[in-house]
Amino acid sequence: MPKALRFGIWVLVSALGTLAFARIALGRGETINAAWLLTAALCSYAVAYRFYSKLIAAKVFALDPIRATPAVRLEDGRDYVPTNRWIVFGSHFAAISGPGPLVGPTLAAQFGYLPGVIWIIVGVALGGAVQDFVILASSVRRNGKSLGAMAREEIGPVAGATALVAVLGIMIVLLAVLALIVVNALKSSPWGLVTIGLTIPVALLMGVYLRWLRPGRVLEASAIGIVLIVASLFAGQWVSTQPSLAAVFTLSGTALAIVVMIYAFTASVLPVWLLLAPRDYLSAFVKIGVVLALAIGIIVSLPPLHMPALTQFTDGSGPVFAGKVFPFAFITIACGAISGFHALISSGTTPKLLQREPDARMIGYGAMLMESLVAVMALIAACALTPGVYFAVNAPAGVIGTTAAAAATKIQTWGFTLDPNQMQALAKQVGEQTLLSRTGGAPSLALGMGQLFANVLGGNEALAIWYHFALMFEALFILTTLDAGTRVGRFMVQELAKHIWAPLGSVSWYPAVVLSSAVIVAMWGHFLYQGVLDPLGGINSLWPLFGISNQLLATVALCVATTIFVKMGKARYAWITLLPMAWLTIVCMTAGWQKLFAEDVKLGFLSHARLIESQVASGALPAAIKSASDARRMIFNDYLDAVVTLFFMVSVVVILADSAREWMSVLRGRKPVISSEAPFEPLPAAGD
């Protein structure tokens, strides 16, 4: 294609994107269409991929198509397997996608669509995709080294150890949050509980099938599994219509929390092939299915956005979570903009699969752009709901009360319309007792998707099936992340424990396995249980904690990347990683500081603890707190959350300081500019 034509096309794409952004930013007071958000996103991604990722690939790493990747040099048929880049793209995308890009934007919609969409698009282009790409390329050049190992090698042992402990901490918060999302979605919902509950025996069946009946026939087993879980969707519906059965499966939040904890513990101890691996296969299909369904629903119906561009909650008075739009919009949306956890994936199995170095651009940068598109779509689905319905579903009972009438009254004081009969009718339509305060983002997304589908095909009668279909599929892969994550967490606990007493690290010694599984489940289970009891709804305090820890891990990853740039002799390009790193540091430290020391009792952990302490001392407990022991437990949790937040903040300061020391040493010439990359080897010539 002639150069002038290519140039012209890019001018057009940029112009279209700019137009879309202008429409989004300037269209206040009128309902704009989702198409504008999609256009802005797609044009921005195209421009960012074509120009920014190319800059990084060419100028920083000089990705070389004839340089042998570790998959080629160290091929062993197991970990190091040179794989076609589209397959690696698919598996990397399947690895990084999860509930994150679906939940974060849904929660951030409380500020309106504008802060969310700007952060998702700008954040991913300049931050998230950059992080994923740079860590992937760095790991490829180092034979697939993990982030922790790179931190240790590039910065120092203190940074490496801190990173490892921080990762364990993040996993615990993440698992607690995911469990809470599941509990909030399934409590008092016999349909949901039966459907999700049945996925466990389905997975067990698949495990047995794959081990003894038809070994290796993964697709066959998955097909059977998918058919069975669709059947369980209807089984759940049937149970919800039988009053006596429905009563058995209507569990309270606390009961469900215990069930989830027992389940995760059992799943992490059972052999992998029996439950975890089959669930993982199912989840991969289900994840792709949900993303495709969301995309089709939005593209076909192109809904108008009923949520305004900015709501009054940008001032920090929001019901879904506390905090002003800065910094909390940037904390709430992690996956989809920038997520530190992705750096673990980018330095996990993916770098060992790359056939050629230039593939890293498409896989690292490109897959993250795609996840960002999923986040934009989740934001659209949340904002396509009317604000009244959105807040009725996402605001905790402690704020809007427990009846449709109370919720409607409260929401109307915020300036949004909500008819209490409408909420009750909607709940009945989707086959739930109530949709109020089903916080955690999953039910709200399911409702949005259900409505999109009901508009497109099926009409209102099918809303119930679509709602539960979306909810079930989401809960399925969330639950799989939970049980797989518990198992990984158990390994990490054993890794740490073996420094205390060697036999604890043995993965074949059953007592050690059971003990470490119990420890990790107890750790996230504690946060889960407290979240369930919290009158403000646990998501209110746990999600920002997860967001802060995740973004701080991203800061660590970008720190490692900057150190690598400096040691490669590319310090003049260090701004590429320093820019998002500086932004994230400011955002996370501000958010952490506010969560610790803010005077607002809904925001600051310590001020909230002091409030409850004074209430206990004066004997005037509010209605939401049943007893003094409950109050003392809440106080303990506030302090615990504060300590965890402080731990993450201190970890990042330590790593930043250590890194800055390294940069200064290299830049001042006290240390040589030596890269730790594996030496260049050309690809074997064709025919070898």
Partner 1 sequence: MTSRELLRVARVRLENAGAIVRRIIGAPDYDRYVAHLRDHHPGARPMTYDEFARQRMVERYSRPGTRCC
Interacting residues toward partner 1 by CB under 8 A: 75-79, 81, 83, 87, 90-91, 94-100, 146, 167, 171, 174, 178, 211, 215-216, 218-219, 222, 271-273, 276-277, 280-281, 284-285, 334-335, 339, 341-342, 344-345, 347-349, 480-481, 484-485, 487-488, 491-492, 507, 546, 550
- Least distance in Å: CB of 565 to partner 1? 23
Nearer to partner 1, 550 or 577 (CB): 550
- Least distance in Å: CB of 147 to partner 1? 8
- Least distance in Å: CB of 218 to partner 1? 4
Neighbours of 508 (CB within 10 A): 6
- Least distance in Å: CB of 485 to partner 1? 7
Nearer to partner 1, 99 or 396 (CB): 99
- Least distance in Å: CB of 146 to partner 1? 7
Nearer to partner 1, 133 or 467 (CB): 133
Neighbours of 586 (CB within 10 A): 13
Dist CA 206 CA 349 (whole Å): 25
Pick from 580, 548, 545: which is nearest to 562 by CA?
580
Report which DSSP code applies to 683: P
Q: What is the 3-state secondary structure (H, E, C) of 6-70?
A: HHHHHHHHHHHHHHHHHHHHHCCCCCCEHHHHHHHHHHHHHHHHHHHHHHHHHHHHCCCCCEECH
Report which DSSP code applies to 74: T
Dist CA 264 CA 483 (whole Å): 5
- Least distance in Å: CB of 652 to partner 1? 18
Contact between 218 and 263 under an 8 Å Cβ cutoff? The reply is: no
Nearer to partner 1, 335 or 523 (CB): 335
Tokens of 362: 């498409």
Nearer to partner 1, 220 or 600 (CB): 220
Tokens of 203: 């997975």
The SS3 call for residue 495 is helix
Nearer to partner 1, 187 or 490 (CB): 490
Exposed, middle or buried, 241 (CB in 10 Å: 0-12/13-18/19+)? exposed
- Least distance in Å: CB of 318 to partner 1? 22
Dist CA 298 CA 639 (whole Å): 43
- Least distance in Å: CB of 31 to partner 1? 32
Pick from 350, 319, 526, 530: which is nearest to 437 by CA?
319
Tokens of 363: 């896989």
- Least distance in Å: CB of 480 to partner 1? 8
- Least distance in Å: CB of 520 to partner 1? 12
Nearer to partner 1, 8 or 503 (CB): 503
Strand partners, 83: 354
Nearer to partner 1, 173 or 612 (CB): 173
Contact between 486 and 175 under an 8 Å Cβ cutoff? The reply is: yes
Distance, C-alpha 451 to centroid of its chain: 24
Pick from 673, 677, 681: which is nearest to 574 by CA?
673
Contact between 384 and 448 under an 8 Å Cβ cutoff? The reply is: yes
Residue partners of 137: CB distance under 8 A and separation at least 6: 56, 57, 61, 63, 357, 360, 364
Nearer to partner 1, 467 or 546 (CB): 546
Nearer to partner 1, 40 or 479 (CB): 479
Tokens of 43: 């044009």
- Least distance in Å: CB of 109 to partner 1? 19
- Least distance in Å: CB of 477 to partner 1? 9
Dist CA 363 CA 53 (whole Å): 11
Pick from 182, 207, 204: which is nearest to 192 by CA?
182
Nearer to partner 1, 206 or 470 (CB): 206
Nearer to partner 1, 294 or 492 (CB): 492
